[in-house]
Chains A and B, each alone.
Chain A
Amino acid sequence: DTEVTQTPKHLVMGMTNKKSLKCEQHMGHRAMYWYKQKAKKPPELMFVYSYEKLSINESVPSRFSPECPNSSLLNLHLHALQPEDSALYLCASSHTGTSNYYEQYFGPGTRLTVT
């Protein structure tokens, strides 16, 4: 199984809502990532988890809260978002180790719209 799954595929939320994005992989990867991608732009790294511990936070606003409950699951909790947070949110995973981190497997993404 070489698939990263993300749910939901689409999400529309108001600025006062709380919602969560979910990501799952069963490839035995111990590193997982959240990226944000705006239209016609490259992905921007948000968070990296390595062995279920947060290892990189790219100065992301606190209205985004990541969680890695186990080695297969990665969540992104959303609260009080702004319209400019509307984007495609991509999850990725990889093996750990110096070069392995960069061979990342991406999910199809969650298209988020904040109204």
Chain B
Amino acid sequence: AQSVTQPDIHITVSEGASLELRCNYSYGATPYLFWYVQSPGQGLQLLLKYFSGDTLVQGIKGFEAEFKRSQSSFNLRKPSVHWSDAAEYFCAVAGTNFGNEKLTFGTGTRLTIIP
């Protein structure tokens, strides 16, 4: 069964500073990997995804993530955060077996931005 771990429950970053949110996954083969963001009181929005190929993927809102098979990681990065990036971030993993249409979410990392 697939699983995902987000080690950081809460991260505080100054506006304009760089950001890295950590995500580690467990799956027997190469998984599908995702980052979703949830603003307060809202649904989730897909930031970026990795299926195969180039291990550095670009997403919306200036985010990128790097798939590292050797470390079973898929960390999310942004070079300069904006106050509007304050939100909950969920890493998610999915199996590559057809018929298993299930995303498994991590427990989330809450991002606070300070001026």
Contacts and interface: CB of A to CB of B under 8 A. Distances in A.
Interface of A: 4, 31, 40-43, 45, 48, 50, 55-56, 90, 92, 98-99, 101-109
A55 B51 CA distance: 23
A93 to B, nearest CB: 11
B44 A55 contact: no
Given A101-B94, A106-B45, A50 B107 contact: no
B41 A103 contact: no
A102 B92 contact: yes
Nearest to A50: B101
Contacts of B108: 40-42
A80 B90 CA distance: 32
Given A99-B51, A103-B49, A106-B44, A45 B102 contact: yes
Q: Could you say which interface size class chain B belongs to?
A: 20 to 34
8 A-B pairs with the lowest CB-CB distances in the bound complex, closest first: A106-B43, A42-B105, A101-B101, A106-B44, A102-B94, A98-B98, A108-B43, A107-B43
A1 B81 CA distance: 28
A48 B51 contact: no
A76 to B, nearest CB: 15
Contacts of A31: 101
Nearest to B105: A42
Contact of A90 (B44, B46, B49): B44
Nearest to A105: B46
Interface string B99-115: 00111011110000000
Nearest to A108: B43
A103 B46 contact: yes
A40 B10 CA distance: 11
Given A42-B108, A56-B101, A108 B46 contact: no
Contacts of B51: 99
Given A92-B43, A102-B94, 12 more contacts: A31-B101, A42-B107, A45-B102, A56-B102, A98-B96, A99-B32, A102-B101, A103-B46, A104-B46, A106-B43, A108-B43, A109-B42
A101 B42 CA distance: 21
A31 B49 CA distance: 19
